[in-house]
Structure 1
Amino acid sequence: MTDSRLKPLYTLFAFLSMLCSVASANSLNPATDSLKKLVSPAVKNSLKIADTITIRRITDLAHEYFESNPDSTKYYGELGVKLATKIKDPKGIADGSVQVASVEAFVGNYINAKKLYQHALKIYNKIGFAHGVFNCYTGMGSVEDYLGNYDEAIGFYNKALKIALQSRNQTDAAECYNYIGITYDNRGDYSKALDNYFKALIINIKIKDELGAADQYCNIGIIMHELELYSKALNYYKKSLDIWTRMEDTQGVGVIHENIGEVLLDQGKYKEALPHLNYARLNFNEMNDPDGISLIAYDFGLYKLRTGDIDSAITYFNRSLQSAARSKIEYNKAKAYWGLAQAFNKKKDFRAAYNYALQAENTARSIGSLNIKSSAMQQTSIALAGLKRFEEAYNKMLAYSELRGRLKHSESVQKIAFYNLEIEFAKQQKEIAAREYKKEVAYNKKLARQRQINVVGAATTIVVAVMAGIYYRGRRKQKAINVVLQQKNDEILLQQADINRQSEKLNELNLLKDRLIGVLAHDLRAPISTLRGLFNLLIDKSISNEEFITMTPTVFGKLEQTSDFLDTLLSWINSQVDSRQGAVKVFKLAELVEKELLHLSDKIQQKDVKVVVKVEAEVQAFAEPNSIRIVIHNFLTNAIKFSNRGGTIEISAGTKGARTYFCIKDNGVGISEQHLVSLFKSRVNSLPGTENETGTGMGLLFCKDLIEKYNGNIWAESKLDQGTSLCFELPG
């Protein structure tokens, strides 16, 4: 999967918020053209004309040129520094230095850029110009982000954000949240990236900054692409494309075409992807954007690789690598190495593939990108197998599977975080819309009242006596009309409320569906991928039958764990559907316990566990019985799993006031305090049982969900080597 960032121009520097897109250096907007005319005398007679007003105009002109012609930005920025130095204008020196630094960073001269920013920062601090300090921090943050120094970048952005919040500058605050989100995105921390993107988007919508909102829609779409939520990614990209097309922002449109092309590539829609990639390539070349040029070359390499043209793919990957190396963009270098490793593995040149895969691993490790690192490890394993180094290949594949499993679990958690953020964003959007609606209603009422006053006043001036009667009758008619209008308005509001309720229900169902699909897709993929890789090695005759048999138990163990996970998940899904059908009722716990003991009798006998039941027949609970049976099943299987052979399990239940409690206690191995704290908070790494039984780590999380759905509580008590008690309580 590729990864285009909105770093070119508008995400590099907070102080370079562009007013509009410019097609070429020779096509200037009226404001830029006027500035150029004003400063032309200073340009011609730079040794004679030098004053603060002219210097400000020159640095403003440098700013205006940045998007269309960075070379002109550098020229006017250096001229501003020269004139400001002549008259000893510290702010002019700092302003010009910032403009030059922006260009140096854009073309990859990061050392010069950092020196210029630091020089300007000292001046701004000395003269107390807070917004200048803000600009320097965001500029230095962007430089560190390009170099892969993500912690340093976030540190600079947080300093800039503090200034923006103190000055209550919402535009600057939105930009800072955007840059922080981009850096977390580059580091692979999608939850924090999404949190910052949504914060920026809410501010953009509140202050009606459409271009800023388009940036955020694009950034959120990028993360949806990373999480393989392709339809959602395309929806967010469309929102960006609509805004940028309407605002005639040609660069933004180019970025979106690249991102859409990448999604289509990952969906296997190669013919549909090609026009988008060609559009983006033309745009990046015209802008001389090194980051974009490197990424689009990588994209074309993937296109050629996936359509079978391996030699062309290698050519494009090398172009991407050369561009990234010249600009010192470590992230793009790592991706280019990974692309070359894939191509040479396809070409059966395993020695070259192995070298490139190692370089991809090392580069990804240096910038903290676990996604690229895991993908590179897979290519390393394939290359090692091709080189007949089977044991190393197998160990590398195991390491890849373990890391990929962690990443997929993390992606599942991040998907849930995204859904929560999206719901919160929708809620805040409604609140903003409601406030705007109230303002509009108040304004219309005020306007209507003013019009009535004007009409009555004018009419009264002409003929008081006659208009008094007309006014009286008119008022009565108006009241009757107002009553009718109010009734109609109330009807409309009731209909709107009903539509909102239906919309919320549909959204909840959609989120439940997406969540279940996301969990199924990612928790089933790792063992299947491992099994597929094993069979590929066997088919390619890269391993012998004896080596295949040696690897088989590990793979079967993973498949058994996945089957257990699938059974639990499907039971939970059925309980969700039943609960929506209103199956809550009073039932007896003893009956459920009897059914589960019968169902698990084989496991109990196999482990020679003694079960003591202390559940009276009259003990009742109020919930959905099948859901509670799932909970009892999970409690009992955990107790069997962690009991020693010949151990004892005690099942008890009773009532306390209007509540019914239920516990299953074993005298097995117990749970450490560290695992006990996180038992019901998220999915956990399931530990093997006393006889190496395996689990998914999802069971108790589902139990918590089911119990709390019926207004119950769930908890656990345990000590190492003394056993564990799993309990819940429900309304009686």
Structure 2
Amino acid sequence: MLNASAAEHINNIDSLKQLTFTANGVLKATDTVAINRLNKIAAEYYESAPDSTRHYSLIAINAAKKINYVKGIAKGFELLGLVNSFKSDYVTANNNYNTSLKLYTQINNPFGISEAYMGLGRVQDFLGNYTRAIGFFERALAIRKKLQRQIDIADCYAIIGITYDNKGDFSTALDYYFKSLIIDLQLNNQLAAADNYCNIGVVMQHLELYSKALAYFDKANSLWLKLNDKQGISTIYQNIGEVKLAQKKYDEAYNYLNRASIMFHELGDEEGISLIYYDLGLYHYHTLKKDSAIYYLNKALQSATKNNIRYNQAQAYVGLALIYNLEKDYKKALQYAVLAQQMANKLQSLNTRADAALQMSNAFAGLKQLNKAYQQHVMYTNLKDSLKNDESLQKLTSYNLAIDFENNQKKASQKEEALVQKIAEQKRTNIIYAIIIVIITVMMVFYYNAKRNQLKANALLEDKNKEVLNQADKLNDLNILKDRLIGVLAHDLRAPLSTLRGIFSLMTDKDITHNEFIEMVPVVFRKLEYTSDFLDTLLFWINSQVDNVEDTTKSFCLCDIVKIEQANMEDQFKQKNITPINLVSSGHIVLADPNSIRIVIHNFLTNAIKFSHFNSTIEIAAQIIEDKVIFTVTDHGIGMSKKQLDRLFMGKVTSNFGTMNESGTGMGLIFCKDLIEKYNGHIWAKSQLNKGTELGFSLAADVSRLKEPV
């Protein structure tokens, strides 16, 4: 039985058909009104019956050509592009949208041009060309903002969010989804709101926030069931099935995935079909049905390859490599892992690259090619470390965005309730006012009392606002402190912990002899001692920020700090065969906190090593100028552009990969700037692209102990 909304939708289509066709199915007229109705019918059918969209848009195009109605032809090709994209015929879809764009440009129809750009962007998104896709979408968004079409602006925000989601930039995706959702809720656009709830749930699913993901999926599904939107319902079933798989609730997962598969096949949704085959392959793998798993993963690969859906191809390759590794068929596993890595590189997907590197490492190990296995394992470790850092920040952003949105929704609801209450109060006031007109004296008394109460309420509200603003400032300061702490932990603890993990992995897997193990013990101990010492120093800084501990400024020699850090980082120098040249002497004595300055010097050296070439040198120097000690670390590595250099100390920046694909957070030097300026010092950077970088700071010299360097 159809619900009221679905029945209304069908009635709208039937009404348009009756106005457009005779009882025998012949067009009543060939004019612009009839052609616009044909395109309207085609658009109405898209969500429930895409083949009907194709049928009516072709009729509209042919009719429009007879009377040279350019707008009708352009709209028809736009709808054909939509259907062909859905059917994964991207070459035809691209041609359809380019034809539509040319025609809309010919008649100077701005909104039509934006629709064509949106279609071209969708095609590039499906092909994995995300940067080109976003370029098309931003052109469309600029036009829609100029036209002030809110519902279409919301649609554009949602599509851009999907592209960033596919790209793996979940925080940016969420930002666009919430922008779109806010407009949809303001306009009561339930179908679009359901799409956004689903998209937000998918991001939560990526970030393993499963309870939140299911909550948003439920919101979307309740709207789609109400609207009888089969495309949306099938998508939700698949997403819920994937969450249940992740939660190891396999029976529930299969129930949802099977229902989604039936609906995708009914709709002819090729992208959905290839995705559901992949999910069913994972289900059979987890339920120990390896032959069935290989069967479904091959089906997923065939479907994705046939329809040129690159992301689905990459996922299928990874899945097949995983299963063949488990079956110890290492040659086949390596073949699929290489294909996965090639596709992941085209898609610029870090997550898929990491999965492919892991499977290649396992396959090489199985084939006894241990050197190659180790290289792939190092690549996997670096990629995963980078992803974990990104995911932790994205999870935090996701929570903040979701909480902000829910708070805004509560505020909007409270405002609505207040408005209703205010209207009711106004009615009562009107009645009282009518009575007071008769009794003028009483009116004046009531007016005076009401005015006095209003002034008191305003004064109280103003005080409350000031209190809220003060609390917001405090929360903002704490948030900044938290972000910097996360950055430091990710930036300075990742390298030693990764090294320790690699050493212990070799020990656990028994890949080294007893004598080699004995030789490694001092190295392991030094790494543990250094990491523990660094944590103590970091905790000291946290206490200094939070508890406002007493001043720890003292007189010390920079040479002592440099020697300690140079010894602790000996392995990192050796890894690239870098020769450190230490020109800091016992005469370079400064006034500051030695633990804080140690963190700064550690960051300088880490950055220098990260961006230095193999077999190069790093100069560590200091000199006394008047009452200042000038300290510098100079490398001869890849350097920076002027744009990067100008933004280096201004805020959180995107960290580039080092010469061995080392990753970072972009927070280390910001942290160093705080520490140096705390002791009235100055920090700077000089760099030339492909020539090298100088990082330096100046601190007050201890004049009482000042002497010539020796």
Q: Which amino acid aligns with 2:442?
A: I
Task: Determine the C-alpha separation between the residues in 1 that align with 2:29 and 2:609.
Answer: 90
Question: How do residues 704-719 of structure 1 correspond to structure 2 at under 5 angstroms?
Answer: 704-707=673-676, 713-716=682-685
Distance 1:653 1:493 in 2: 51
1:498-522 CA distances to partner (integer Å, 9 max, x unpaired)?
A: 8767876886787678767877997
Q: CA deviation at 1:331?
A: 1.4
Q: CA shift at 1:62, angstroms?
A: 1.6
Query: 1:568 is matched with which residue?
Result: 534
Q: Deviations over 1:365-392 (max 9, x none)?
A: 344434323422332332233234x1xx
Alpha-carbon distance in 1 for matches of 2:483, 2:567: 38
User: How many angstroms apart in 2 are the aligned matches of 1:121 and 1:700?
Assistant: 47
| 8 A contact 2:358–2:380 mirrored in 1 | no
Structure 1 counterpart of 2:62, from 76, 82, 85: 82
Task: Tell me which of 563, 571, 587 is aligned to 1:613.
Answer: 587
What SS does structure 1 have at the residue aligned with 2:585?
strand
Tell me whether 1:72 sits opposite 2:52 in the alignment.
Answer: yes
The partner residue of 2:545 within 569, 579, 583 is 579
Q: Distance in 2 between matches of 1:496 and 1:324?
A: 53
Q: Which amino acid aligns with 1:473?
A: V
Which residue identity lines up with residue 90 of structure 2 in the other structure? Y
Distance across 2 between alignment mates of 1:355 and 1:599: 47
- Give the Cα–Cα distance (whole angstroms) in 2 for the partners of residues 635 and 380 of structure 1: 35
Residue equivalent to 1:478 = 450
Which of 52, 63, 76 is the matching residue for 1:96? 76
Is the 2:559–2:584 Cα contact (8 Å) retained in structure 1? no
Contact 1:297–1:317 (CA under 8 A) maintained in structure 2:
yes
- How far apart are the structure 1 equivalents of 2:265 and 2:295? 17
Amino acid at match of 2:327: K
Is residue 558–residue 584 contact of structure 2 (8 Å, CA) maintained in 1? no
Residues 250-309 of structure 1, C-alpha deviation per residue, up to 9 Å, x if partnerless? 654553454454355446565665555455445534543221221122122223323433
The counterpart of 2:128, out of the listed 148, 152, 157, is: 148
RMSD: 5.5
1:127 Cα offset (Å):
2.2
Establish whether residue 36 from structure 1 lines up as the match of residue 14 from structure 2. yes
Amino acid aligned to 2:41: L
For residues 439 and 283 of structure 1, the distance between their equivalents in structure 2, rounded to whole angstroms, comes to 39
**Equivalent of residue 319 in structure 2, options 317, 331, 339:** 339
For 1:731 and 1:491, locate their aligned partners in 2 and report how far apart those are by CA, in whole Å.
48
Structure 2 residue 389 is matched with structure 1 residue 412: yes
Structure 2 vs 1, CA of residues 589 and 386 (structure 1 numbering), >3 Å: closer, same or farther? same
The answer on whether the counterparts of 1:23 and 1:68 sit within 8 Å (CA) in structure 2 is no
Change (3 A) 1:588 1:569: closer
1:468 alignment partner in structure 2: 440
CA contact (8 A) 2:487 2:666 kept: no
Check whether the contact 1:187–1:369 (CA below 8 A) recurs between aligned residues: yes
Question: Post-superposition shift, 1:219?
Answer: 3.9
Shift of 1:119: 2.6
**Counterparts in 2 of 1:162 and 1:604: CA distance versus 1, 3 Å:** closer
Q: Does 1:380 align with 2:357?
A: no
The verdict on how the C-alpha distance between 1:96 and 1:246 changes in structure 2, with shifts beyond 3 A counting, is closer
Kept after mapping to 2: 8 A contact 1:635/1:664: no
Using a 3 Å threshold, how does the CA distance of structure 1 residues 553 and 569 change in structure 2: closer, same or farther?
A: same
- Cα separation, 1, equivalents of 2:558 and 2:61: 83
| Inter-partner Cα distance in structure 1 for 2:241 and 2:525 | 35
Contact kept, 8 Å, 1:70 with 1:103, in 2: the verdict is yes
Query: Counterpart amino acid of 2:75?
Result: D
2:204 corresponds to 1:239: no
Unaligned runs of 5+ in 2: 571-579, 703-710
Show the counterpart of 2:43: 63
Structure 1 residue 574: deviation in Å?
4.2
- Name the CA distance, whole Å, in 2 between partners of 1:199 and 1:731: 53
Residue 589 (1) aligns with residue 554 (2)? yes
Q: Percent identity?
A: 31
1:98-497 matched pairs, under 5 angstroms: 98-188=78-168, 193=173, 196-197=176-177, 200=180, 204=184, 212=192, 215-216=195-196, 218-219=198-199, 222-223=202-203, 225-226=205-206, 229-231=207-209, 234-235=211-212, 238-246=215-223, 248=226, 251-252=231-232, 254-263=234-243, 265-266=245-246, 270=250, 273-274=253-254, 276-278=256-258, 280-388=260-368, 390=369, 393-395=370-372, 397-399=374-376, 401-402=378-379, 405-406=382-383, 408-409=385-386, 412=389, 416=393, 452=429, 455-456=432-433, 460=437, 463=438, 467-479=439-451, 481-482=453-454, 485=457
- CA offset digits 1:461-495 (Å, max 9, x no partner): xx4xxx11221232244345546655765676577
Match of 1:11 in 2: none
Assess if the C-alpha contact under 8 Å between 2:559 and 2:586 holds in 1: no
Q: Secondary structure at the match of 2:548?
A: coil
Letter in 1 for 2:450: Q
For 1:672 and 1:451, the matched residues in 2 are separated by 75
Work out whether residues 507 and 517 of structure 2, in 8 Å CA contact, stay in contact via their aligned partners in 1: no
The answer to whether the 8 A contact 2:351-2:387 is kept is no
Per-residue CA deviation, residues 413-434 of structure 1 (Å, 9 max, x unaligned), is 5754775697689789989998
Deviations 1:347-369 (A, max 9, x none): 11222222222222333334443
Distance in 1, matches of 2:691 and 2:15, equals 85
1:314 shift after superposition = 0.8
Q: How has the CA–CA distance of structure 1 residues 55 and 625 changed in structure 2, closer, same or farther, with 3 Å as cutoff?
A: same
Deviation at 1:342, TM superposition (A): 0.8
Could you say if the C-alpha distance between residues 653 and 484 of structure 1 is closer, same or farther in structure 2, counting changes exceeding 3 Å?
A: same
Using the TM superposition, give the Cα deviation of residue 575 of structure 1 relative to its aligned residue in structure 2, in angstroms. Answer: 1.8
Structure 2 CA distance for aligned equivalents of residues 401 and 604 of structure 1: 19
What secondary structure is seen at the aligned counterpart in 2 of 1:308?
coil
Deviation at 1:37, TM superposition (A): 3.3
Q: Match for 2:26 among 38, 46, 49? A: 46
How many residue pairs get aligned? The number is 675
**Deviation, structure 1 residue 146:** 1.5
After superposing the two structures, state which structure 1 stretch, 568-577 or 160-169, moved more.
568-577
Give the Cα separation in 2 of the matches to 1:723 and 1:334.
38
- Are residues 1:727 and 2:697 paired? yes
Q: Give the secondary-structure state (helix, strand or coil) at the position aligned to 1:590.
A: strand
Letter in 2 for 1:339: G
Identify if the C-alpha distance between structure 1 residues 206 and 519 changes in structure 2 by more than 3 Å, giving closer, same or farther: farther
Change (3 A) 1:727 1:131: same
Q: Is the 8 A contact 1:217 1:236 kept in 2?
A: no
Q: Which moved more, 1:296-305 or 1:310-319?
A: 296-305
Amino acid in structure 1 at the alignment position of 2:21: A
CA distance in 2, matches of 1:289, 1:420: 33
| Compared CA separation, residues 698 and 555, structure 1 to 2 (3 A) | farther
**What's the CA shift string for 1:548-572, capped at 9, x where partnerless?**
9999999998997798567535632
| 8 Å CA contact retained: 2:639, 2:692 | no
What is the alpha-carbon distance in structure 2 between the residues aligned to residue 408 and residue 348 of structure 1?
Answer: 27
Alignment TM-score, normalising by the size of structure 1: 0.73
User: Structure 2 vs 1, CA of residues 522 and 331 (structure 1 numbering), >3 Å: closer, same or farther?
Assistant: farther
Task: Quote the Cα distance in structure 2 between the aligned partners of 1:669 and 1:459.
Answer: 85
**Which SS does the other structure have where 1:715 is aligned?**
strand
- Structure 1 pair 85–477 and aligned structure 2 pair: CA distance change class (3 A): same
Q: Distance in 1 between matches of 2:692 and 2:294?
A: 61
8 Å CA contact retained: 1:603, 1:640: no
Unaligned runs of 5+ in 1: 1-21, 656-660, 689-694
Amino acid in structure 1 at the alignment position of 2:446: G
Distance in 2 (alpha carbons) for counterparts of 1:627 and 1:301: 53
